[in-house]
Homo-oligomer: A and B are copies of this chain.
Amino acid sequence: MAETDYDDNNVKIITTEVQSENPVLIEGFPGIGLVGNIASQQIIDELKMEYIGSIDSRHFPPIAVLYEGLINMPVRIYESTEHKMVMVVSDIPINPVVAYDISKALLTWAKSINAKEIVSLAGIATMSEENKVFGAATNMDMLERIKDKVELFQMGTISGISGSIMGECLVREMPAISLLGSTMSQNPDPRAAAVVIDVLNLLYEYGINTEGLIEQAEKIEVEMQRLAEDVRTTEQPTGARKEFPMYG
């Protein structure tokens, strides 16, 4: 099985060969509301995407992610050949000082697999309770495609790894859009993730079900509540919980 490798000593991307021609590349890193990685994980589960590899970096925290006894890398790459789509999902936030190297590496790798376009999923803080999706694009063609499906991001900044990837897409002329689910708090917000997926369904006809996400979200909110109480009663974090997936 052929591999696609990228290694510049700072960032290492190792995957099995990508099967899709000109795939759409979607990325979801944890930021405000964990919108990016919650949405991405839901897409991976619903589309039954196949694990094909991971991104590693000397600047990532040393951490392994456990799921049902199996060890996973914190930043993973999946593929759906049916939907000609590749997904990068991260369980760990990216330190701003590493964002430059990660986005450079990601674009170089995206070009090496002939990615058609890049979609960045993330959150954005607003003071409105309504769950909106703000959108932005690197060129007029992409802007045209999203303008009726999102609220255009008129003025402001996208910071962190999402902003860095968008800038790198612009410089290297990779068509890209950014979908930002509005959220009101720092807590995980699967509802913001759900509306981002709704827009993705409109754009690519993935037909991803988000009802499970809403239900799961409600469970997480209960769990968050319970954890907050745990923290108040002990300082030692516990390691093994079973009921719900972990975000971030």
Contacts and interface: CB of A to CB of B under 8 A. Distances in A.
Interface string A47-88: 000000010111011111111111111100000000000000
B73 A167 contact: yes
Contacts of A240: 124, 126, 134, 151, 153-156
Nearest to A57: B100
A76 to B, nearest CB: 10
A225 interface: no
Contact of A160 (B14, B62, B96, B103): B62
A241 B124 CA distance: 13
**Interface SS, A side:** mixed
Interface range, A side: 35 or more
A99 interface: yes
Given A66-B154, A68-B154, A155-B242, 7 more contacts: A63-B167, A65-B157, A69-B135, A71-B137, A71-B176, A73-B170, A185-B236
Interface of A: 12, 14, 54, 56-58, 60-74, 91, 96, 99-101, 103, 124-127, 134-140, 143, 146-147, 151-164, 166-167, 169-171, 176, 178, 180, 182, 184-185, 234, 236-242, 244-246
